[in-house]
Amino acid sequence: MAKLKSMEELAKLRDDMKNRTEMRVTGTNPDRIVLSVGMATCGIAAGGRDTMKTLVEELEKHGINNVSVVATGCLGYCYAEPVVEVRFPDKGPILYGDVDVKRAREIVDQHLVKGILLDHAIIGKGAGRR
C-alpha cells in the first residue's frame, strides 16, 4: 500500500472500502429495508442462492446501501420458491414468489429504485408494522 498523499486519496480509499462494513452499519439501522430470501431446503433447491446473489449484486450496481439482504427460513410458500420478502420500515411486507434471477433484478429496479410494486409477482401482503 502506497502512502496516502492527500485528503482526496483518503476519501477515495474510504469509498472503496465502504462495502466492507456497510452491511454491518445498515444491519442495525432502524430505517433499513430488509429483503428476506427464503433459504430453507425448498428455497435453496429452487435457486434461492442465485436469487440472493443477484439481489446483492443489483443493489451494489445501483449504489443502494440501506438494504439488508438476509436469508430466512421456510415461509410456507414452497410452491412459489424462491420467495423474497421486501420490508420497508413503517410499511407492511410484500412477498414475491418465483423470484428467479430476472425477477430479482426487477425487484431492485422497480420496487426498490422506483417504488413500483411488481403486482404480477406478489403472493402476499402483510399489515404495516412499527
Partner 1 sequence: MNRYRMHLMVCGGTGCRSSQSVQIVENLNQELKKAGMDQEVQVVTTGCFGFCEKGPIVKIYPDNIFYVEVKPTDAAEIVAEHVVKGRTVQRLVYKDPAGGKQIPASTDMPFYGQQIRIALRNCGLIDPENIDEYISVDGYQALGKALSTMTQQQVVDTLKKSGLRGRGGAGFPTGLKWQAALKQKSDKKYIVCNADEGDPGAFMDRSVLEGDPHSVIEAMAIAGYATGADEGIVYVRAEYPLAVKRLKIAIAQAEEYGLLGKEILGSKFSFRIRLSLGAGAFVCGEETALLNSVEGSRGEPRMKPPFPAEKGLFGKPTIINNVETFANVCPILLNGPEWFASIGTEKSKGTKVFALSGKINNVGLAEVPMGITLREIVENIGGGVRDGRTFKAVQIGGPSGGCLPKSLLDIPIDYESLSAAGAMMGSGGMIVMDDTDCMVNIAKYYLDFTVDESCGKCTPCRVGNKRLFEILERITDGKGTMKDLDDLEVLGGTIRDASLCQLGQTAPNPVLSTLKHFRDEYIAHIVDKRCPSGVCQNLIHYVVVADKCIGCTVCARNCPVSCISGERKTAHVIDQERCTKCGVCFSKCPVDAIVKE
Task: Check if the beta carbon of residue 83 is closer than 8 Å to that of residue 75.
Answer: yes
Regarding 101 and contact with partner 1 (CB under 8 A), the answer is no
One residue of 45, 61, 73, 92 binding partner 1 per CB under 8 A: 73
Sign of the CA dihedral with 14 first, then 114, 24, and 128 last: positive
Task: Check if the beta carbon of residue 108 is closer than 8 Å to that of residue 58.
Answer: yes
Binding-residue total with partner 1 (CB under 8 A) = 44
Regarding 70 and contact with partner 1 (CB under 8 A), the answer is yes
Query: What CA–CA distance (Å, rounded) separates 13 from 119?
Result: 41
Residue 121: count other Cβ atoms within 10 Å of its Cβ.
Answer: 20
Q: Pick between residue 4 and residue 116 the one whose CB is nearest to partner 1.
A: 4
Regarding 52 and contact with partner 1 (CB under 8 A), the answer is yes
Regarding 64 and contact with partner 1 (CB under 8 A), the answer is no
Give the residues lining the site for partner 1 (CB under 8 A). 1, 3-7, 9-11, 13-14, 17-28, 30, 34, 36-41, 43-44, 52-53, 56-57, 60, 68-73
